[in-house]
Amino acid sequence: MFLRSAHTLHYSPRNTRCENMGVFLVVVFAVSLSGCTGGPLGKGFHQNRAVTSCPPYWIPWEGACYRFFDHALSWRQAERMCALFASNVVSIHSPEENNFVYGLTAHYVRTWIGLNDINADGEFTWTDGTDENYLKWAPGQPDEAYNGEDCVEFWDKGAEGEWNDLDCGALRPFTCKIHLE
C-alpha cells in the first residue's frame, strides 16, 4: 500500500532531477527519493547543516519548526520519519509549547511525543537530547501498566494535553520538531 504526499517537494533550483518529485510512504516505512542526493529537505535543510528557517509545510513557533503527520506509525517509525527531515519526534518544554503542539494534532487526541525511557526504565529523556524540564503526566502516569510502556503519547483521558506512557509499538500520528539555529 502506497500513500502519495499531498504536496510536491522542490529540492534545489539548480538540480532539475529533484524538481517536482513526490515522497512515497510504504507500510513497512520506506521512502523513495528517486535518486535525489540533496537529502529529503534539499539544499539548506540537510541533517549536517544548520537550519535557520522552516522548510515548506512546517510551522514556526518560538525558535523551532513543527509538522504534524497524521500517518499512524509506531514510535520508532515516527522517529525515523522525523529523522528524514533532520528532526525528532517533538520535545516539549513549557505549558505554552504543550498547548501549541497539542493544538497541532487537530482532532487526533492520542499522538506520539518524543519522551521515552527506552534506555533505562523510569529515566525519561527526549529524543533530541534536550533537558527534561517540563512534564505533564496524567494522574497515575507513568504506570508501566503492561510492562514495556517506554514511549509517551498525548492521552485522551483526563485534561487535554496530558501524557501517558505506552508500548512503543502502538500506532499513533506524531509531530516532528526542528530546532532553529
User: Alpha helices, DSSP H only, in the chain?
Assistant: 75-83, 95-104
The predicted pLDDT at position 137 comes to: 96
Cell for 33?
527519493
Higher pLDDT pick, 109 / 168: 168
pLDDT band per the 50, 70, 90 thresholds, residue 50:
low
Percent of the chain with pLDDT over 70: 72
What's the rounded mean pLDDT across residues 137-150? 89
* Cα 69 from Cα 76, distance rounded (Å): 14
Angle 86-28-35 from CA coordinates, rounded to 5°: 55
Say if residue 173's pLDDT is above 90: yes
List of domains in the chain:
1-42 (no CATH), 50-179 (3.10.100.10)
Query: 101, 93 in Cβ contact below 8 A?
Result: no
Higher pLDDT pick, 42 / 134: 134
Say if residue 25's pLDDT is above 70: no
Query: 89, 79 in Cβ contact below 8 A?
Result: yes
